[in-house]
Chain A
Amino acid sequence: MSFLEVQGLKRTFPAPGGGSTTVFENIHFTIERGEFVCIIGHSGCGKTTILNVLAGLDEPSGGVVIMDGREIAGPSLDRGVVFQGHALMPWLTVMKNIAFAVKSRWPDWNKTQVQAHCQRFIDLVGLTGAEHKKPAELSGGMKQRVGIARAFAIEPKMLLLDEPFGALDALTRGTIQDELLRIVQATHQTVFMITHDVDEAILLADKILLMSNGPNAVIAEIVENTLPRKRTRHSLHHDPQYYRIRNHLVDFLVTRSKHYQGRQEGTSGQASTPPVVRPGLEDTPSGPQPADQLQPLAASH
């Protein structure tokens, strides 16, 4: 059994003219302990809703999520969340924002313990010296680092990141990606992250979930990142394999995600796990049906 299992997740919202709209359905995937998983898809396919369900902030209309052998029901300190809009409390300093989380996790720690623990994570994200600043005095990148430090500081079993770098400029984003990569590699943290950025996904993720467009979105395929795990932002684009993966992802987002109609057999529950693909390494036998990956497009017409 995997560390996290998502089985048949479905979410419907009441439609304006009565009835209901299904945002996504038949979502199946697993995450192993220590794995970094990214999910990519166009806006409106329900990525954030899936993340909220994993966080326990939203309830699915169908299906279950099992983490570490237990079904997720409501939010928990086992899962740290980095929110899209940093969600720092503007009336608290950097230190106190993180301390708020630390005190929630370990209510009986004394002041020095809390302070030392917070300091460790402030140093980890490179914010040493900014402990007593309020969020309004920080740049966008620094705010997001505080958000990351706050999520890491409670030492959760799993980290959920909702497009954490979406609002940052390219240079800042690069630096923080490097830092996140370094921290995750050092702590072997299990991560689930939403992103719009194909390069970010290839740099960070071990596994990339591709979602078709909503409504009725599904996970079209799971792309395995075949690049060596010791990759960095500087060496990444020298690897020919990088372009194969990148092209595959971009192709999906630009054309295939719109027409994806495959695997409508949701009722039977059969073949529920989406195909695993390894772009550029298709000849290597892997996954359930490696040759199947391009057929849904052809079959849709």
Chain B
Amino acid sequence: MASGNQAGASIWHATLLSLLMLLVLVGIWHIATLPKAQVQGANDEYAQLMGKGARKSEGFPTPAQLGEAIVRNVSDPFYDRGPNDKGIGIQLAHSLGRVGLGYLLAILLAVPLGFLIGMSPLIYRALDPFIQVLKPISPLAWMPIALYTIKDSSISGIFVIFICSVWPMLINTAYGVAAVRRDWLNVARTLEVRPLRKAFQVILPAAAPTILTGMRISMGIAWLVIVAAEMLVGGTGIGYFVWNEWNNLNLTNVLFAILVIGVMGMILDLLIGRLQRLVTYVD
């Protein structure tokens, strides 16, 4: 009971500390971006020469401006005013759709193939050099090849997500399957369990935590890559949104997009983490 209270108290303390840190950071940010009256006065003439109003907000956005941007974007996330002006919800949905599809395809290939590699030392040794060479390639390096062969920017994006998600899943599945305890396999053997039943009822649950770890790493990488990929191919998505707002010189919206990318990445990781806990067993 006492330790439970202590744990509860320390969670509260941690939350309090986090809030405090946030407050300090925002405070510093606020002070650093305060309008500098003197400098602005000296540049008034120059600014006017350049055809810009002196009072127009420039430089780095303030916390208040970001707050405004959040409210503005979140209050109407699904508007669509042509190809270069879509709501954040629509952009996010495009990114999530690409990641989801590429990721799903990666699962469909990596898990069965990983099973095969993990079960057969021969196939493992035969495929290992390919995997070792392909794994360190930046997924974006595939982009020109994808664009040339697929000729569709959106599908190329999906392909890039697929190619970056596939490796951690493949390697972890193979490792998890190869590391299934000998004892459990021997139990299955002495019980004359059929291969398919053994695969699904012994090897899969035994390797599931390792496989899910691979899936979690893959998701992290996929979410990193999608932003860069969409910056390259353009059109839609959160990455394109960032690039578009940069071209509009709207740093406030860029900051907002960065925040959204971070929060979304966290949610995705939490979801897979939840799934991972479901299949984890205490030995």
Contact = CB atoms under 8 A, between A and B. Distances in A.
Interface of A: 55-57, 75-77, 79-81, 83, 85, 87, 89-91, 100-101, 104-105, 134-136, 154
A154 B184 contact: no
28 contacts: A56-B189, A57-B186, A57-B190, A75-B189, A75-B192, A76-B190, A76-B192, A77-B192, A81-B186, A81-B187, A83-B186, A83-B187, A85-B183, A87-B184, A87-B186, A87-B187, A89-B184, A89-B205, A90-B283, A91-B205, A91-B208, A101-B187, A104-B191, A104-B193, A105-B191, A134-B282, A135-B283, A154-B191
A147 to B, nearest CB: 9
Contacts of A90: 281-283
Given A105-B191, A134-B281, A89 B202 contact: yes
Contacts of A101: 187, 191
Contact of B192 (A85, A104, A135): A104
Contacts of A104: 191-193
Main secondary structure of the interface of B (DSSP, over half): helix
Main secondary structure of the interface of A (DSSP, over half): loop
Nearest to B209: A91
Contacts of B189: 56-57, 75
A123 to B, nearest CB: 22
Interface string B250-279: 000000000000000000000000000001
A87 B183 contact: yes
Interface string B170-208: 000000000001011011011111000000011001101
A121 to B, nearest CB: 15
Among the interface residues B190, B193, B282, which one has the most CB atoms of the partner chain A within 10 A?
Answer: B190
A56 B191 CA distance: 11
A57 B184 CA distance: 12
Nearest to A79: B190
Q: List the 10 closest A-B pairs by CB distance, nearest first.
A: A87-B183, A136-B282, A104-B191, A91-B281, A90-B281, A75-B189, A75-B190, A90-B283, A91-B205, A81-B190
A217 B48 CA distance: 100
Nearest to B280: A91
Nearest to B193: A104
B61 to A, nearest CB: 50
A91 B282 CA distance: 8
B281 A136 contact: yes
Interface in B188-245: 189-193, 201-202, 205-206, 208
Contacts of B279: 91
Contacts of B190: 55-57, 75-77, 79-81
Given A57-B190, A154-B191, 17 more contacts: A57-B186, A75-B192, A76-B190, A76-B192, A77-B192, A81-B186, A83-B183, A83-B186, A83-B187, A85-B183, A87-B186, A87-B187, A90-B283, A100-B191, A101-B187, A104-B192, A105-B191
Contacts of B191: 75, 77, 100-101, 104-105, 154
Contacts of B283: 90, 135-136
Given A134-B281, A136-B281, A89 B192 contact: no
A85 B184 CA distance: 10
Among the interface residues A85, A87, A136, which one has the most CB atoms of the partner chain B within 10 A?
Answer: A87
Contacts of A80: 190
Contacts of B206: 89, 91
Among the interface residues A76, A101, A104, which one has the most CB atoms of the partner chain B within 10 A?
Answer: A104
A136 B280 CA distance: 12
B278 to A, nearest CB: 11
Contacts of A85: 183
Contacts of A57: 186, 189-190
B73 to A, nearest CB: 44
Contacts of A87: 181, 183-184, 186-187
A154 B183 CA distance: 18
Contacts of B183: 83, 85, 87
